[in-house]
A = this chain, B = another copy of it.
């Protein structure tokens, strides 16, 4: 029987070889269910019970979902699980209810991969060790393979320790799809994923914690974000003979892009705007009747992001009107800003300091990007609970989202033990989290 460290590496490498994009993580989720269903005391929620199809953003089309399911089955996923996951309902929630009363503690790990082609260089550890991505154009380039393994490691430790240490209350483990793009948290929130949660912990390998053994008890500088697609529809016309009969969706998209990027800076905090993709028009000599834009706004606070979102919304509609075209907005993802709670950060510190893997502990490190764990955090805090977002240190072979990204697998056992130690302090008999 493998040690925890060996088991974690084995899981991680399997996930790494089979990367799946947001809402298409059928094989990953099925593997999670395989492991969890074998653990005593663990109740599973999946499909609509874990992730609400209503108002789902960026959902795959039925065809895309069917193709992803077929691929997962071909790669060994158990059809028993896959059948329950419908079109993109790839979240999984595990819960343990302990005999003694106590608080409800939730950990969230994200499970999706990125549309990045993994490097084939020999220097890249997954290549050398033979577990590089088997799917061209997809890669676990952000460490979510490691997060998923840590989540499974925590589950194993819970099973082993909760009875021995006489834990009370409940422990919930949230495996979230589609963190990239910030579209997975909202539909799990809508399915009640953090209902009743008193303590919420999410985390990430690396980010600003790029030395081995470092633990950051919290995270700051989350950028709130709104991600959307815009489709402009006009009227085609021959550009030489009847240009005036056209309604130029490409020109409207160009004007819109320029004006979106010129939305005012905000006095209360930094903001961002990016139209990252534009596809418009069908031919050089035809007035374009269709343009598609993929864009996002961000802000250092939820309020600044809301300002950017409202400005963008007004502009999209008015500039479409100025050019006589119609605009359709599709919300693709949202994340908020968030603040980690000091008492919970102190518990993380105590837990971290209790571990032999820990070399250094800091109170907080910045994220500087967007994370939809913030939606869970704010929901928990709004009901009086506490939340934090930890960073688990590791040297990185290359930055996040890079084709040569890789982390030190020693961080896996550090992460799983850290989470279990936090759970133990909150749920154990002398837990800080006693109700």
Instruction: Name the distance in Å between A4's Cβ and chain B's nearest Cβ.
Output: 34
How many copies of this chain are found per oligomer? Answer: 4
Q: Which residue of B lies closest to A280 (CB)?
A: B278
Q: How far is the CA of A269 from the CA of B242 in the complex (A)?
A: 10
Cβ B267 vs Cβ A277 within 8 A: no
Q: A277-B281, A278-B279, A321-B318 are in contact. Are A251 and B240 (CB under 8 A)?
A: no
Question: Does more than half of chain A's interface fall in helix, strand or loop, or is it mixed?
Answer: mixed
Name the segment of A22-30, A186-194, A293-301, A403-411 touching the other chain.
A293-301
Cβ A240 vs Cβ B368 within 8 A: yes
Cβ B267 vs Cβ A243 within 8 A: yes
From residue 323 to 366 of chain A, which have CB atoms closer than 8 A to chain B? 323-324, 332
Q: How far is the CA of A294 from the CA of B281 in the complex (A)?
A: 9
Q: How far is the CA of A248 from the CA of B181 in the complex (A)?
A: 21
From residue 67 to 109 of chain A, which have CB atoms closer than 8 A to chain B? none
From residue 253 to 274 of chain A, which have CB atoms closer than 8 A to chain B? 253-255, 257-259, 261-262, 264-274
**Interface residue? A319 (CB, 8 A):** yes
Q: How far is the CA of A246 from the CA of B263 in the complex (A)?
A: 11
Q: How far is the CA of A275 from the CA of B278 in the complex (A)?
A: 13
Q: Which residue of B lies closest to A257 (CB)?
A: B254
Residues in B whose Cβ lies below 8 Å from that of A323: 259, 315
Cβ B271 vs Cβ A265 within 8 A: yes
Name the segment of A119-127, A282-290, A380-388, A421-429 touching the other chain.
A282-290
Residues in B whose Cβ lies below 8 Å from that of A45: none
Residues in B whose Cβ lies below 8 Å from that of A115: 283
Please list the residues of chain A having a beta carbon within 8 angstroms of any beta carbon in chain B. Answer: 115, 181, 223, 225, 227, 238-246, 248, 250-251, 253-255, 257-259, 261-262, 264-288, 291, 294-296, 298, 307, 314-315, 318-319, 321-324, 332, 368-370, 401
Q: Told that A244-B307, A253-B278 touch, could you supply 17 new A-B pairs with CB distance under 8 A?
A: A227-B284, A240-B267, A241-B267, A241-B368, A243-B266, A243-B272, A244-B266, A245-B267, A250-B276, A254-B258, A262-B262, A269-B270, A270-B270, A276-B281, A278-B279, A278-B281, A285-B296
Query: Nearest 6 pairs between A and B by C-beta?
Result: A318-B322, A239-B274, A261-B262, A254-B257, A277-B281, A254-B254
